[in-house]
A and B are shown apart, each in its own frame.
Chain A
Amino acid sequence: MIDVSGLRKVYQDRGREVVAVDGVDLHVREGEIYGVLGQSGAGKSTLLRCVNLLERPTSGTVSVAGQELTSLAERDLRKARQRIGMIHQHFALLSSRTVAGNVAFPLEVMGTAKAERARRTAELLELVGLADKAGAYPAQLSGGQKQRVGIARALAGSPPVLLSDEATSALDPGTTQSILALLKSLNRELGLTILLITHEMHVVKSICDSVAVMRDGLVEESGTIPELISRPGSRLAAELFPLPEPEPGNVTITFTGQAGEPVVSQVVRKFDVDVNILGGALEEVAGVSTGRLRLLVTGDERAAALSYLAERGLLVEEAR
Chain B
Amino acid sequence: MTWDEMFPMLLESTGQTAEMVLWSTLFTVLLGLPLGVALVATDRGGLFPSAVLNRVLGLVVNLGRSLPFIILMIAVIPFTRLIVGTTIGTIAAVVPLTLGAAPFFARLVETALREVGRDKVQAAQAMGAGRATIVGKVLLPEAMPGLIAGLTVTVVALISYSAMAGAIGGGGLGDLAIRYGYQRFETTLMIVTVVVLVAVVQLVQSLGDTVARRLARD
Residues of A within 8 A of B (CB): 52, 54, 77-82, 84, 86, 88, 90, 92-97, 105-106, 108-110, 137-139, 153, 163
Write out the residue numbers on chain A whose beta carbons fall within 8 Å of the beta carbon of B128: 77-82, 106, 109-110
| Total interface residues in chain B, CB < 8 Å | 21
Q: Is A96 in contact with B123, judged by CB distance below 8 angstroms?
A: no
Other-chain residue from B119, B122, B129, B217 in contact with A109 (beta carbon distance below 8 A) = B129
Q: With A94-B141, A97-B141, A138-B218 in contact, is A54–B125 under 8 Å at CB? A: yes
Does B55 sit within 8 A of A, measured CB to CB? no
Rounded to whole angstroms, the CA-CA distance of A238 and B137 in the bound complex is 48
Residue of B nearest to A83 (CB): B128
Shortest distance between the CB of A74 and any CB in chain B (Å): 9
C-alpha gap A77/B217 in the complex (Å): 33
Q: Which of A54, A84, A94, A106 contacts B142 (CB 8 A)?
A: A94
Other-chain residue from B117, B119, B142 in contact with A96 (beta carbon distance below 8 A): B142
Closest chain B residue to A136, Cβ basis: B217
Residue of A with least CB distance to B215: A96
The answer to whether B141 and A92 touch across the interface, beta carbons within 8 angstroms, is no
Task: Flag if B127 contacts A105 (CB, 8 Å).
Answer: yes
Contact B217 A54 (CB under 8 A): no
Q: Does B138 contact A (CB under 8 A)?
A: yes
Q: A95-B218, A96-B217 are in contact. Are A106 and B127 (CB under 8 A)?
A: yes
A–B complex contacts, Cβ < 8 Å, 23 sampled: A77-B128, A78-B129, A78-B130, A79-B128, A86-B123, A86-B127, A88-B119, A88-B122, A90-B119, A92-B119, A92-B120, A92-B122, A92-B123, A94-B120, A95-B217, A97-B141, A105-B124, A108-B133, A109-B124, A109-B129, A109-B133, A110-B128, A139-B218
Q: How far is the CA of A90 from the CA of B126 in the complex (A)?
A: 15
Interface residues of B (CB under 8 A from A): 117, 119-120, 122-130, 133, 137-138, 141-142, 144, 215, 217-218
Known: A54-B126, A109-B133. 5 other contacts (CB 8 A): A86-B126, A94-B120, A96-B142, A138-B218, A139-B217
* Minimum distance in angstroms from A167 CB to a CB of chain B: 12
CB closest chain-A residue, reference B125: A54
Complex CA gap A108/B215 in Å reads: 22
| B144 CB contacts on chain A under 8 angstroms | 96
Min CB distance B117 to A, Å, is: 7
- A contact residues around B129 at 8 Å (CB): 78, 109
User: Is there an interface contact between B123 and A95, defined as CB atoms closer than 8 Å?
Assistant: no
CB proximity of A37 to chain B, nearest CB, Å = 22
Measured in the bound complex, the distance between the Cα atoms of B144 and A67 in whole Å is 38
Indicate which residue in A84, A93, A94 contacts B126 across the interface (CB closer than 8 Å): A84
Q: Which residues of A contact B138 (CB under 8 A)?
A: 94
Instruction: Tell me how far the C-beta of B106 lies from the nearest C-beta in chain A, rounded to whole angstroms.
Output: 22
Q: Is the CB of A92 within 8 A of B117?
A: yes
- Report how far A78 CA is from B128 CA in the complex, Å: 4
A82 to B120, CA, bound (A): 16
Q: How far is the CA of A82 from the CA of B125 in the complex (A)?
A: 10
Q: Which residue of B lies closest to A98 (CB)?
A: B217
Task: Write the chain B residue with the least CB distance to A106.
Answer: B127
Residues of A within 8 A of B119 (CB): 88, 90, 92
Please name the 8 residue pairs, one residue from A and one from B, whose CB atoms are nearest each other, closest first.
A92-B123, A81-B128, A139-B218, A78-B128, A82-B128, A92-B119, A86-B126, A106-B127
Distance in Å: Cβ of B41 to nearest Cβ of chain A: 16
Q: Are A138 and B217 in contact (CB under 8 A)?
A: yes
Minimal beta-carbon separation of B44 from chain A (angstroms): 11
Query: How far apart sit A94 and B120, CA to CA, in the bound complex (Å)?
Result: 7
Report the minimum CB–CB distance from A227 to chain B (whole Å): 31
Q: A108–B133 Cα gap in the complex (Å)?
A: 10
| Nearest CB in chain A: distance from B46 CB, A | 14
- A88-B217 in contact (CB<8A): no
Question: Which chain B residues border A82 with CB–CB below 8 Å?
Answer: 127-128
